[in-house]
A and B are shown apart, each in its own frame.
Chain A
């Protein structure tokens, strides 16, 4: 009986311990698969009606990374969009590009049960639009884990 319990304990504990020790920005939950396939997603609107300086879209959570699972947006002929991450007000500290600059006239609709982009832990996700109109509209799904 005791051996059975020990075996069960090891069976369940090892993957959990393995996850705890994995790289924080890994997109795999040990033994289970991709974060975006394992955890329910949240979503936010992407709403830019004019050229907008780097603006926070998802606040940081201590010890958690942001896994972008899906992104859908349209930019008109004179607008671009870029995703970045960082800390501080509107990702102003340690600002780093998460995506390239999506060009004008883009229609981007993607996403599935796997991670598209991931920030390091403890970072916020921000976006910036440029161009004459600076418009970009759509939505983004993610897991913060």
Chain B
């Protein structure tokens, strides 16, 4: 079977290793045999004698010199050329020479012939049939020559049969054939192993090549991903809850924060940046994460303060909780967006104010009108009264001068009659009371406007929600007073920790929507609708229910109710910003909920729930 060069090389390598291994074994075997032989002669025949004289026995010399010659040459070859073919043949000769010497020393004892069989088996470890042939040839030659010259040294008897040599040679050949066959079989196995190992190496090569390719692809993908991630405004990050350190912040995040990576791992990197107003919320978030709870769905907004005093608004999208107490997610720089939102919110508020201005003006005008009428009445009354006073003072002067006062008294009577004093006594206080009432109403409207239009606070403050609702109803009165009656049912409420301006805006939006919905139903009729406003404190929350008897929300519009710029109102009446702002204020800014139930033709009820948790924490 023809094999390629690689398989040949692998086979040759394995064979060389086998030869070297076997050679190492023979190195020690030959050495031990030699030392054993020297030890044996030193014990059994150390000296030879002639009468009283003795000398070193020739056996000792022979063991040292002959045994050394037999052993040292193969030992040198085994050490220097362990895998060379000649080494194997020299070893074969030396080993079988030792067999011959052993047989000779034991007078040809048949048992010592087993050394030959053992030696051949050892040589077979080389799996080289040529070495076995050499060994067999040495045995045969030794038996042939010594059988002729010195038969008792090899057969143990002085006059063996002539065919004794053939008998021994036959046994040795028998073993030789077995060992050669074994060697061939072993070589065939080695070839098979070489085939397998080459196939395996090639498979490994292919796998490694694939791994290299995949690794390169992976590196490309990683680079692409890194480039993608680090060149967008999204900032991936990872925070270690156990050590309170940021373990990763994408480079663009560090740039945004004005920090370098050196300070990234400091414990106060994060906490030092969080704005005081958001620290409670952030602490709550981290506490939840430490408990292994998933972060809140949606996003989490917070404000950071840079060392230079500027602020950075971030919107965090947090990954579900991962084991190992790590908080991961993506942060978006929404500073500009927040600014726009604030401006939009203010604009929407101003738009509301503007839109309500005529109604508010009307609301103010009515009391101003009757205050004005009353003041004018009082003014006229004062003129009449002062004229009467003048007449009466003339009567007093005439009486004081002792003159006749009849004329003066008559004039005073006429003046009193002209002034209709009884009428004035009855109506001037009323006119003044109306004026006070009218001025009070104006003051209320102005205060409501002031409260509503007050610039947004950056910090939460305590708010009396019932009063806020009253104010809102006041300034929105002109929106509903021609079409609906308002029914309020305010329960006792604890102070609500919130952003008041935003809450007022949300409540106004819902009330104005209710008024518009009713107006659509009652337009052109004498009928009036009802807006019902209820407040309750329920389970750590404040609940505000605002129900109307308006048109109801069509089912197809319900899913998009909170989408920005979505509106069912005609142009000029709605901007589509009302309910999105309600949702943003209640859900995002205050962690509350907004729900509604609606039935077309019957009306809609909005339910706003605002948690009191902030207030509870403040109290604690």
Do A and B bind? no
Q: Which residues of A contact B (CB under 8 A)?
A: none
